[in-house]
Structure 1
């Protein structure tokens, strides 16, 4: 009886995780530091908001382009090159900070530069995971990624605060170290598994060789010429494929709606606590409690994903999120809110790992960059709206009415998931490939 291979013995995955963690550390520190530096330098919250808004728009647009590039080019090469570009930008930021020339224009320039680098090259790193991790381990790999992300989020604030207290240049130096790690680990991954091309993934190449007894193909000269590369057409192909899949399209829409409802609700509760006269330190402890809950949930995710169906995990996660926002209508004490938020986020790592892992298994390698980028853009697009909903809602309608609106959004997401049999019936990790295949023929017929 052969033993199931263990994820942590997969050296390519460990190299990928090291590269992605270095990149994630640099991004977390910069995201933490920029708003604070902008406030210190300009003294104007509006200018800090402009920097964040411009960066978000650039990242959204570049992520769509990055998905197309990830399906055209060598993904591991793009991983390593993106890390190298990030290191160059971090080094320049460190030099500018040491010279004392940080101002609004400089912060905006670096925000745009790093947002563009992340948007263009991060999709390639995400897509490369499909080429190096076996389908049977994809859920556990995504669960491990969720644990890493939770740890970065929990530690990023304290680490960034300590570095920033000494000087902004230390943030740049830490970003430089993280980006160098990302580039070196990406280069080592390419050396180990081969740089590869997304057009001929290894798993599909094996299937192709089994068809050698088929009739000979027509000569290449009789085939129609290949259409010239067109980014918009390629992006439409990815979007079209995604929305012909009822399991994936419904999950993507549900994730977008719940992101908006949950984050807007949490932001509303936090803003209301501040308005009630509680200190920033109280808010910090509230967020630390929810971060710790998410970290514990992330540590449990590798156990839950192989045992519980992805559809059931999504429904359970939506129930906890909706319940927390409903409770927030009545609970107003800081620690009561911290308890609600901690309960809401506990299952999110397992939910995210299960759905993203299933998406990786179900999506053809040639489309994975574009499909992932569309999902990421929809998720990121909901995030900037959350503080707007909370801010304008509190100013115009009050706390309870704003939370009721957020509750409606969460309830809509839950009902959509409950009514979608293709989403609700997604099984546990070991049966993802089998479950996904039942939709392949339908998609092919629809596309034809």
Structure 2
């Protein structure tokens, strides 16, 4: 869901795979409040969005391509980490509970640090933070590789590695996400988000096989590749800072100085962002949708995984569910750029949520692994367009000087719902059985769809070219 990106998750490996898939449903993890952003609306108002001007051709934008390389390298490092740590913990301790402790604490650390990271991203140069975050990630990954190479991986060592890298992600990831608005004009943010969705789907499909190959060589190899990925992320972020600004009016980040003066406290700044976001009906409802669908869909997939495990399917067989969803998400990401230019984002959001709700309810009568994989995959086909529309609009509607905090806020709400998903699945199966648990998950998904359908501020969000004008109505 909200791409929360590189989201932290884990219990055991199979459950985490499924949960991660659902998390991509409303991508979390994110903007016009100023006249600077409004000035880009002229680009978006092209009469023929099917034939965008050269400034709107996403892949001709060297800054965007450079940003994407940096963000993708960071995402690959995160994917490898989330794949390797639970498996290495199980190899070292042979105790799923200890693997769960590491995953749970890592998630909690990242949530807390994400709030701090949002404040930093609004106080300081975001490109500078991207470079520092990449270099710190490379240093920590090199330490991980060294510990694994010397055979000193223990529960304590893995715990510290997870906590340190989770803290790094929480503090620095918001800067990269918020920087996107300074890289592309408002008129192509929807297509940029669609491209990001395709990238995420590709990482979902390829990340675990790559991680498995590297882990077969040794745990140190995971750390070494993560180190290289973070170095690429840092170097391309530095290169991005040396390029000219495509969004010429976005001078705040071009100057490479503080974006906003520091308030009395970081807590006060974060509170200001939450108050502003919840005062806007369009953004408030977008965040509610992200939180509820993340919880409902994650819980439904986790429930299906638990049932498949109890039915005797192997982890490899269960992994095909995630792979099938990833393939369809990739296909959906390929058509998302066309949809966000031609179909209202509100329609895409409502349609995507209705499909996800239908897929969740279908689990009541679908029992075979092939049927479950096909059902969940086909009903996720609009998810990339849903993400692109909602996240793209969110980024247009939020003022640049508040975008770091807004991005961290929506990410925290999405991530905060994730730990509850396995609890709903586990206790639900014990207390209500399979059908009752899936009905509860369906009710949560249906609630998010109802918000999209009955909230005019969300339902009436137009296609990409009209986002700036729609957002201005709620200022």
Q: With the length of structure 2 as denominator, give the TM-score of the two structures.
A: 0.85
Q: Specify the SS of the correspondent of 1:329.
A: coil
Q: 1:358 to 1:14 in 2, by over 3 A?
A: same
Question: Equivalent residues in 2 for 1:23-62 (5 A)?
Answer: 23-62=74-113
CA distance in structure 1 between the aligned counterparts of 2:125 and 2:248, rounded to whole angstroms: 13
Q: Partner residue of 1:216?
A: none
Question: Equivalent residues in 2 for 1:203-282 (5 A)?
Answer: 203=249, 228-282=263-317
Question: By how many angstroms is 1:187 displaced?
Answer: 0.6
Query: Is residue 2:138 matched to residue 1:138?
Result: no
Q: Partner residue of 1:296?
A: 331
Question: Equivalent residues in 2 for 1:67-146 (5 A)?
Answer: 67-146=118-197
CA distance in structure 1 between the aligned counterparts of 2:248 and 2:98, rounded to whole angstroms: 49
Question: By how many angstroms is 1:287 displaced?
Answer: 1.9
Question: By how many angstroms is 1:349 displaced?
Answer: 1.2
Cα shift readout 1:223-261 (whole Å, capped 9, x = no counterpart):
xxx885311111111111111111111011011101111
Q: Specify the SS of the correspondent of 1:100.
A: coil
CA distance in structure 2 between the aligned counterparts of 1:373 and 1:360, rounded to whole angstroms: 12
Query: Unpaired segments of 5 or more residues in structure 2?
Result: 1-45, 47-51, 253-260
Query: Is residue 2:220 matched to residue 1:185?
Result: no
CA distance in structure 2 between the aligned counterparts of 1:91 and 1:347, rounded to whole angstroms: 39
Question: By how many angstroms is 1:294 displaced?
Answer: 1.1
Q: 1:393 aligns with which of 425, 428, 448?
A: 428
- For the Cα contact (< 8 Å) 2:187–2:465, is it kept in 1? yes
Q: Partner residue of 1:413?
A: 448
Query: Is residue 2:343 matched to residue 1:308?
Result: yes
CA distance in structure 1 between the aligned counterparts of 2:464 and 2:262, rounded to whole angstroms: 38
Question: By how many angstroms is 1:339 displaced?
Answer: 1.1
Query: Is residue 2:417 matched to residue 1:366?
Result: no
Question: By how many angstroms is 1:298 displaced?
Answer: 1.3
> Which stretch shows the higher mean deviation, 46-55 or 390-399?
390-399
Question: By how many angstroms is 1:288 displaced?
Answer: 1.3
Question: By how many angstroms is 1:405 displaced?
Answer: 0.6
Q: 1:111 to 1:280 in 2, by over 3 A?
A: same
Question: By how many angstroms is 1:202 displaced?
Answer: 5.0
Question: By how many angstroms is 1:77 displaced?
Answer: 0.4
Q: 1:227 to 1:287 in 2, by over 3 A?
A: closer
Q: Specify the SS of the correspondent of 1:439.
A: coil
Cα shift readout 1:327-347 (whole Å, capped 9, x = no counterpart):
101111111111111023221
Specify which structure has the bigger relative contact order, considering alpha-carbon pairs within 8 angstroms and separated by 6 or more residues.
2
CA distance in structure 2 between the aligned counterparts of 1:355 and 1:407, rounded to whole angstroms: 21
Q: 2:465 aligns with which of 430, 438, 442?
A: 430
Question: By how many angstroms is 1:275 displaced?
Answer: 0.7
CA distance in structure 2 between the aligned counterparts of 1:179 and 1:144, rounded to whole angstroms: 21
CA distance in structure 1 between the aligned counterparts of 2:423 and 2:381, rounded to whole angstroms: 25
Query: Unpaired segments of 5 or more residues in structure 1?
Result: 207-225, 441-448
Cα shift readout 1:367-408 (whole Å, capped 9, x = no counterpart):
111111100000111112111211121122211111011011
> Which stretch shows the higher mean deviation, 361-370 or 343-352?
343-352
Aligned length: 416
